[in-house]
Structure 1
Amino acid sequence: MSGLLAVYRIELERIFKLRPAFSVLVIAVLIYSVFYPQPYRNEALRNVPIALVDRDDTDSSRELARRLEASSDITIAATFPDEVSAERAIFARNLFGLVVIPKYFERDLLHGRASPIALYADASYFLVYQRISGAATAVARTMGAEIETARLIAAHVDPVIAEAAPDPLPLTAVTLFNPQGGYATYILPAALVLILQQTLLIGVGLLETHPNPKLEALSQQQAGPYDRILGKLLAYLTIEIFAASFYLIALPYLYGIPRLGSPVAIAIFALPFIIAVSSLGMVIARLLRNPLAVQLLTAAVGIPFLFLAGFSWPAEAIPNWLKDIALVLPSTSAIFGMVGVAQLGATIAEVSQQFLTLWILAVVYTVLAFFLEARSPTSA
């Protein structure tokens, strides 16, 4: 026990004294917490600029244009006489969509005929396309329903029936766990878990590959392989308790991300995740044995980890064999489980599959770290 505590003190001291490790485990964690969420602070796109071509120029067409402009999602930034002029502005990336109101728009409506409007939206940026198409469709349907209702009332149909006829099955959408329907609420909880994994992997790799004279001075009788691995894990766990609490509990409240889970449940779920990542970092460092190689590898696999986690790219579109590979990464199970516990308010029992997977990974990687430590020259 004294050997374990000695290793713990040495490793904890090194975290703050070894500049590369301190920069990753402490400074980088703070920098990421400030800068990474900034692009997502607005949650959802608003006032996407589009163009309008009004070929009819009647009261009805102007009313449709007014309603489009009143939408919070889009704004009519320019009006053009024809589509060719509008296309130039769209190709220059000054505008992202075009609504064309056809000639005889009002006349067709008054005669009870369909008068379709045309919408062209930039689909190269899906969030922009979604906002434009959603706003234009909602405005067109609302105005169409009002016109149909007025026509039925004029034909002496009961007003109650006339109001229900254009939309006999009204839909009431309730956004659960993400009231604003924002991108930040969706992406940040998962991204924060991935950042914790990457910073911890790099930090542990740097600590393990840099010389440690104080630890090397301890004899096998003072600190054996088990004392060395468990003491280091305890040191990494100590520093990550603060980082994980800051990322998984404080930051969501600071940035207004909905949270239904209790801090206790979050801490319980984070425990095997931290152990699994720490022991994996030790295994990678033992295999590579070079600080630069550790940094290059862990940095290079960051983007693949992002996609394999199944939140940036839909999990349903990932091949099954890649999903199986992704399970060996702590972040894969941690992201789904942590989002369930912290954001959706799930209990540990309800995310037991991910929780158990993390514990299995923690045990497997810790055993591998023991094995590699026992075979290292310093342990001989």
Structure 2
Amino acid sequence: MNTPMQPMPVTTPPRQGLLGAWLQALATVVRDKGVLLLLVGAPVLYGFFYPWFYADEVLTRVPVAVVDRDHTSLSRQITRFADADPRIEVRFVAASEREAQEALWRGEIEGYAVIPAGLKRSVVRGENAVVSIEANGAYALLNKAVQYGFAEAVGTVSAGVEIRKLQASGQSAPQARASRAPVQLQMVALFNPTEGYGSFVVPAVALLILQQTLLMGAAMLTGTWVESGQHRARATTWLGRLLALCTLGWASGLFYFGWIFVLHDYPRGGNPLGALALLACYIPAIAALGALLGLWFGNRERALQVLLFTTLPIAFVAGFSWPVEALPELLQWLRWLLPSTSGVQASLRLNQLGAPLSAALPYLCALVALGAVCAGAVLALARPSSTLRPGA
């Protein structure tokens, strides 16, 4: 005769204090080589090698060509000024535009200028003359360097021609310069003095590196706990685990803000206390979200497989490399579910721009809210069960 199966008690993990759970989680990270590599090794390696690609900051001496159809002293002066510009380097003067195009297609140059026939004659007559500039549009930075370099060279020569015309009309040299440019314009880059690409992109990408390494590490570690049945634990145990993840994340954040930015001389230190407040809000939100994703995936390998390919889309929706207004409206709302959205914007204000804490307060509040919701969800989903289901 079969008797109904009674619910069986489940052995719950032994009671641990917050400190004990914190130490045990750190010990688990040290024993797990994959998680250790993500949480400790990857931030250090990225911190040294990622900025290395942008060490030059500004492109200089980009190879170009000049197609001279005028063959006058004015066209030769434009060529000399172009070669003297630090942005570009004139490799050769082409006899025809076809020759310059073929050099561009072969990758020997990145752009060229076409000086039309009759340029000097048009200038002497006071007629408009156009110098065409063609550049490799497949690479935005190279295209910008070519366009700016030729524009500066042609603009300088054009200004000299105008000043000589004014002097010929009876004005002195100072009067001619003042007449040509009555209002002087001086442009100063406030928060990127070198106007370098590395100073623009690395401080923002650093926040993404912190997020992705901690997110994948936390999800993998939680997936390991799920596989071994250790994810069912009391709130104190989970708070200790989250604190251990935050400890490693804070160490990585201080490593970037306190040393990597100094090593590569990026704009920094605008509001040090504000930057510390950002890390205090940013890292817990990532750790809680990573643990929540780990519980959802339920498998350490799946967590890494899914999260590994999210970095580039997250970079595009963060709001520093792609205009937010160009995103679909749905993505403009969904992107706030990622800590990097608020973290990048707050970091640029506090660490680079030197804004007061009040300017970044909405972003910090969003991080605190996101972290609280994710941590609450983790505690609710991973609470220990007192009994197994019948038949389990």
Instruction: Give me the TM-score of the superposition, normalised by structure 2.
Output: 0.90
User: Is it true that 1:207 corresponds to 2:221 in the alignment?
Assistant: yes
Q: Is the 8 A contact 2:269 2:352 kept in 1?
A: yes
Equivalent residue number for residue 33 of structure 2: 19
Distance (Å, rounded) in 2 between the aligned partners of 1:153 and 1:118: 28
* Counterparts in 2 of 1:243 and 1:170: CA distance versus 1, 3 Å: same
Is the 2:16–2:237 contact (alpha carbons within 8 Å) kept by the matching residues of 1?
Answer: no
Residue 148 (structure 2) aligns with: 134
Q: Partner residue of 1:326?
A: 335
Cα drift, residue 2 of structure 1: 5.4
Check whether the contact 1:269–1:348 (CA below 8 A) recurs between aligned residues: no
1:154 equivalent in structure 2: 168
Higher relative contact order (CA 8 A, sep 6+): 2
Contact 2:226 2:298 in 1 (8 A): no
Report what 1:361 is aligned to. 370
Q: Can you list the C-alpha shifts for 1:71-105, whole angstroms capped at 9, x where unaligned? A: 01011112211111111111112211111122222
Q: 1:286 aligns with which of 295, 305, 315?
A: 295
Task: Name the aligned partner's letter for residue 288 of structure 2.
Answer: S
Give how far 1:225 is off: 2.2
Q: Separation in 1 of the partners of 2:27 and 2:266?
A: 35
- Taking the TM superposition and a 5 Å limit, the aligned residue runs for 1:201-350 are 201-211=215-225, 216=230, 225-350=234-359
Correspondence for 2:91 among 77, 83, 87: 77
What one-letter code is carried by the residue in structure 2 that aligns with 1:358? L
Matched residue SS, 1:113: coil
Segments of structure 1 that go 5 or more residues without pairing to the other structure are none
Residues 21 and 203 in structure 1, CA contact (< 8 A), matched pair in contact too: yes
Shift of 1:262: 3.9
Change in 2 beyond 3 A, CA 1:10/1:145: same
Q: Which residue of 1 aligns with 2:21?
A: 7
State the 1:50 CA deviation.
0.8
Secondary structure of the structure 2 residue equivalent to 1:210: helix
Q: Distance in 1 between matches of 2:114 and 2:175?
A: 32
Query: Deviations for 1:139-165, whole angstroms, at most 9, x for unmatched residues?
Result: 212211111111111111354442133
Looking at structure 1, the residues matched to 386 and 322 of structure 2 have their Cα atoms a distance apart, in angstroms, of 43
Aligned-partner residue type, residue 248 of structure 1: F
Residue 377 of structure 1 and its aligned partner are, at CA, apart by 8.2
Offset at 1:110? 2.9
Kept in 2: contact 1:225–1:379 (CA 8 A): no
- Aligned amino acid, residue 191 of structure 1: V
1:49 aligns with 2:63: yes
Q: Tell me whether 1:190 sits opposite 2:204 in the alignment.
A: yes
Give 1:123 shift. Answer: 1.6
Once the two structures are TM-superposed, the CA of residue 347 in structure 1 deviates from its matched residue by 2.0
Q: Which amino acid aligns with 1:106?
A: K
Cα shift at 1:23: 1.0
Alpha-carbon distance in structure 2 between the residues aligned to 1:95 and 1:156: 44
Closer, same or farther: CA 378–240 of 1 in aligned 2, 3 Å: farther
Equivalent residues of 1:48, 1:74 under 8 A apart:
yes
Asked if structure 2 preserves the Cα contact closer than 8 Å seen for 1:10 and 1:214, the reply is no
Partners of 2:317 and 2:335 within 8 A in 1: yes
Q: Deviations over 1:44-69 (max 9, x none)?
A: 11111111111222222111111000
SS at 1:180's partner residue?
A: coil
Q: Paired residue for 1:94, among 108, 114, 122?
A: 108
2:332 maps to amino acid: K
Q: Which residue of 2 aligns with 1:28?
A: 42
Deviation at 1:298, TM superposition (A): 0.9
Confirm or deny: 8 A CA contact 2:318 2:340 kept in the other structure.
yes
The question of whether the paired residues in 2 share the 8 Å contact of 1:149 and 1:163 is answered with yes
How far apart are residue 307 of structure 1 and its match? 0.8
2:4 is aligned to none
The TM-score, its normalising length taken from structure 1, stands at 0.93
Q: Answer yes or no: is the 8 Å Cα contact 1:69–1:75 preserved in 2.
A: yes
SS of alignment partner, residue 128 of structure 2: coil
Q: Check 1:140–1:213 CA distance in 2 against 1; reply closer, same or farther (3 A cut).
A: closer
1-structure distance, mates of 2:249, 2:277: 13
Change in CA separation of 1:44 and 1:368 when aligned onto 2, cut-off 3 Å: same
Is 1:173–2:181 an aligned residue pair?
A: no
Between 275-284 and 96-105, the greater mean CA deviation after superposition = 96-105
Secondary structure of the residue aligned to 2:320 is coil
The SS at the match of 2:199 is helix
Contact 2:272-2:350 within 8 A present in 1 as well: no
Q: Give the root-mean-square deviation of aligned CA atoms.
A: 2.3
Distance 1:201 1:144 in 2: 56
Larger radius of gyration: 2
Is residue 30–residue 36 contact of structure 2 (8 Å, CA) maintained in 1? yes
Q: Which amino acid aligns with 1:349?
A: S
Specify whether residues 280 and 213 from structure 1 end up closer, same or farther in structure 2 by C-alpha distance, changes over 3 A only: closer
CA–CA distance in structure 1, aligned partners of residues 16 and 380 of structure 2: 21
Q: Structure 1 vs Structure 2: percent identity of aligned residues? A: 30
